[in-house]
Amino acid sequence: MPAKIIDGRPVAQRIQGEIKRAVEDLRAKSGAAPGLGVVLVGDDPASAMYVRMKRRACDRAGLRSEARILPAASTQAEVEDAVRAYNADPSIHGILVQLPLPDHINEEAVLNEISLAKDVDGIHPMNLGRLGMRGREPTFTPATPTGVMQLIAETGEAIEGLRAVVIGRSNIVGLPVALMLAKANATVTICHSRTRDLPGTVRAADIVVAAVGRAEYVKGDWIKPGAIVIDVGSNSLPDPDSEKGYRYVGDVEFESACAVAGYITKVPGGVGPMTITMLLSNTLKAARRSLEA
């Protein structure tokens, strides 16, 4: 039997509807809307597109958003100043620094500047550290990994005791997903470019999270029958049949994996819609803490 599809779109729509109602409530009580401040450095078209998508989603849900768009040649001090200005602005409750930053900018120093109370991307080293520590809770968890966990929850399967394999160990996806799965009491293996026998390791997993950045890399015969497969990958492949000339595929070979898995996400329409939703949710949470205090 083919896998059940975990469709991120209706889940995202449902949660965005809840956020919209909560924002209206907050406005009625406090007279203010949650505000997101975005720092974008340079003119990378993909980053600019992500920022536009995030700001549009804010509009739809009734959140206020603004962006400080700095030239690629900005200095370290200018980028850090942009973050500090949002820290000091009471109408901004959440700050998003769109990554990657240009090579000459020290990313960690910039992220360190974000006020913990406004770190709605959950990317401040203190928040990531707390995510990994026993008995500590981060102020916010990063958007994409939180979306992954929400999609796993949609299956109704209990995570505790399951074997999870996360392929990828980036600071924004692989590592935090692995930490969140471990917090949920899964037994977690983190795989990366130096992992020996990746297919054999994946075959033991009840939960597979693929965050590799390589089109259709994970094959169906790597998947344990019945496993939950969450495909974070977003890769464009040339496609002369499509209007745009390309199409998006995940890190998992969907057709072959779908035949074996118990549950699987699609690309597009899986993790992608959840990422923005979780950013909105964190910004609402930050605004509530500030406005209802």
Whole-number minimum distance, CB 208 to ligand NAP, in Å?
12
DSSP H helical ranges for the chain: 8-30, 45-61, 76-88, 107-113, 125-132, 143-154, 174-183, 198-203, 254-258, 271-291
Nearer to ligand NAP (CB atom), residue 61 or residue 274: 274
Nearer to ligand NAP (CB atom), residue 22 or residue 232: 232
Residue 150 known to be catalytic: no
Compute how many other C-beta atoms are within 10 angstroms of the C-beta atom of residue 234. Answer: 19
Residue 224 known to be catalytic: no
Pairing of strands 228-231, 263-265: parallel
Residue of 118, 119, 121, 251 marked catalytic: 121
Whole-number minimum distance, CB 242 to ligand NAP, in Å?
19
For CA atoms 201, 202, 203, 209, give the dihedral sign: positive
Nearer to ligand NAP (CB atom), residue 113 or residue 231: 231
Whole-number minimum distance, CB 275 to ligand NAP, in Å?
3
Residue of 54, 224, 266, 285 marked catalytic: 54
Contacts with 165 (C-beta within 8 Å, 6 or more apart), sequence order: 188, 189, 191, 201, 202, 204, 205, 207, 208, 209
Whole-number minimum distance, CB 7 to ligand NAP, in Å?
14
C-alpha distances in angstroms, 168 versus 172, 197, 254, 280? 10, 15, 18, 25
Residue 13 known to be catalytic: no
User: H/E element holding 97?
Assistant: strand 94-97
Binding site for ligand NAP (CB under 6 A): 144, 167-170, 172-174, 191-195, 198, 211-214, 232-235, 271-272, 275
Nearer to ligand NAP (CB atom), residue 50 or residue 86: 50
* Residues annotated catalytic, as ranges: 54, 98, 121
